[in-house]
């Protein structure tokens, strides 16, 4: 990943700090491919994936309670509140 970012940075620098649309698209496709491969090789733990898909807050009860106090709204899932 570091090498990819360094390549992109060098290409942008060499292009006068502005890539042509085609070059930018090539980097974008390559970067997205790397992220897809990373997701396959190192998938998110189910808890993180599930919470993210539900827009739930991750953390311990103390952290969640602090957020609820600051936001003045619930940040917990129904399942957690029923415990």
Residues 62-80 have pLDDT tens digits of 888 998 999 898 887 655 4
Is the pLDDT confidence value at 28 over 50? Answer: yes
Q: What is the pLDDT of residues 35-47, one digit of tens each?
A: 888 877 776 788 7
Nearest to 76 by CA among 45, 6, 62: 62
Q: How confident is the model at residue 29 (pLDDT cuts 50, 70, 90)?
A: very high
Q: How do the domains of the chain map onto residue ranges? A: 2-41, 46-81
Task: Tell me which residue has tokens 């599930």.
Answer: 50
Q: How does DSSP classify residue 76?
A: S
Largest CA distance in the chain: 58
DSSP state of 44: P
Burial (CB count <10 Å: 0-12, 13-18, 19+), residue 27:
middle
How many whole angstroms separate alpha carbon 81 and alpha carbon 83? 6
pTM to 2 decimal places: 0.46
């Amino acid at each position: 990943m570091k090498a990819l970012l360094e390549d992109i940075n060098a290409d942008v620098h060499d292009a006068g700090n502005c890539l042509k649309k085609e070059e930018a698209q090539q980097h974008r496709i390559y970067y997205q491919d790397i992220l897809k491969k990373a997701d396959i090789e190192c998938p998110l733990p189910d808890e993180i994936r599930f919470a993210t898909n539900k827009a739930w807050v991750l953390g311990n009860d103390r952290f969640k309670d602090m957020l609820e106090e600051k936001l003045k709204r619930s940040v917990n899932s129904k399942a957690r509140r029923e415990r």
